[in-house]
Structure 1
Amino acid sequence: MEPLLKEIYDSILEGNASLVTEKTQAALDNGFATSVILNEGMIAAMTEVGRLFEEGEYFVPEMLIGARAMQAGLTVLRPYLVADDVKPIGVVALGTVKGDLHDIGKNLVAMMVEGAGFEVNDLGTDVDPEAFVEAIRKGASVIGLSALLTTTIPMIEKTIMAIDVAGLRDQVKIMVGGAPVTADFAQQIGADGYAPDASQAAKLAKSFVA
């Protein structure tokens, strides 16, 4: 790996946002292709962050600061990606379902999914089923539904039903997660996948577009 790309990669693993920003700009100034900086520097680093988390070497705080460091670099890189017409690998719309105001887990999923190369449409919390339907109409190919309360879990199924009624179910992959959600529940309600954490959510989203 080129030294500048390695510095971006290592700085993301260390969660050093200011260094990621500096080295991303340096890589651009030195003529590195935006797609190379994105794929070999940033996405590769976030893949490694996910692996370290899954193996128990990193925990949520390390994953969070790594994702924030990557986002700092993306802020520098994004205008160049647009200018170079570098496309995301897909569009993921994320939200916490109607009646649920929890967003920490959803926000971390958004960072990890963006780190995997997707464009993220973050719908926020307390999201009405119709908002997810509209996000699909606007181009989302993956939907992420989150619930942290046992009382709001039924809204996951209602949201999937709303997508089905709108005639859009075959146009989108749906992944679900949140503390009370299980793989069995995901299967019962007709979701395409279940992610127990943000790292797995990013891997699952990538598997949908592979």
Structure 2
Amino acid sequence: MEELFSKLADCIEFGKIDEVSPYPPNFKGQTGADEITAQVLAKGASAQDVLNNALIPGMEKVGVKFREGTIFVPQVLMSAKAMKTAMVHLKPLLKQGNVKQKGTFVIGTVEGDLHDIGKNLVAMMVEGNGYEVIDMGTDVSVDAFVQQIEKTPDCVVGLSALLTTTMVNMEKIVKNVKEKFPHQKVCIGGAPVNNEFCDKIGADNYSADPQGVVDFLNTLAS
């Protein structure tokens, strides 16, 4: 079983979706995340085992490599596709409540901003590291975030913005959220923001890359 977990982690790290997938070239003709996940579950592995021993280690390596600049967005997207393929097998088991997820992460691009690539990368990386992710989409209003927090009071909120004209809406959202929920954790990210802006608006964390968000969430979950 350990060898299969190792192979599955490699499939996630290098983006091998299934046997017919041509990517990556050096995995051509080999089974991928789809087949191996089905195989380990058939052999009696639990969904928790698959997460802890394969998906999370694989996605952690992807996050570190992306942060270090040794892989780029296309490779991350292939890894995310492999991870999501594996998750198709796990989600019915997750719904049974037999898997202890680390927490809930609510993410959205702020009001007035329709960009979603960065948000999507973060959502994929966080989900692959064992969290339930609620993706609010783009152009998300203050009220929408507040309503979601009321539904999932133990969540951590992630705000994304790509434009200098919309990053100001982060401040509005953080202010309103903190007024209603003083202990609510909010993290921010996106091209125009930085640690200084994070401190100025009263957010709890700024991350320059998806792995930074995972690291922040892990400190809260530990």
> TM-score normalised to the size of structure 2?
0.89
Of 120, 142, 162, the residue aligned with 1:107 is: 120
Residue segments in structure 1 that go unaligned for 5+ positions in a row: none
Aligned partner of 2:39 among 20, 23, 26 = 26
1:155 aligns with 2:179: no
1:63 is matched with which residue? 76
1:53-202 → structure 2 map (5 Å cutoff): 53-83=66-96, 85-139=98-152, 140-166=154-180, 168-170=181-183, 172-202=184-214
Partner residue of 1:49?
Answer: 62
TM-score by length of 1: 0.94
Q: How many residues align?
A: 208
1:54 CA displacement: 2.1
Q: 2:133 & 2:46 partners in 1: Cα distance?
A: 22
Note if contact 1:34-1:84 (Cα within 8 Å) is conserved in structure 2.
no
CA contact (8 A) 1:173 1:192 kept: yes
Q: Hey, what's the Cα distance between the residues in 2 that align with 1:20 and 1:141?
A: 29
Aligned-residue identity in percent: 43
Secondary structure class of the residue paired with 1:63: helix
Q: Helix, strand or coil for the counterpart of 2:164? A: coil
Distance 1:164-1:84 versus aligned 2 partners, 3 A rule: closer
1:166-190 C-alpha deviation (Å, 9 max, x unpaired): 2x131x2110011100111001111
Aligned to 1:35: 48
Contact 1:173 1:208 in 2 (8 A): no
- CA RMSD for the aligned pairs? 1.3
- Deviation per residue, 1:117-174 (Å, 9 max, x gap): 11001001000011111111111521000111111111001001111232x131x211
Q: What is the letter of the counterpart of residue 208 of structure 2?
A: P
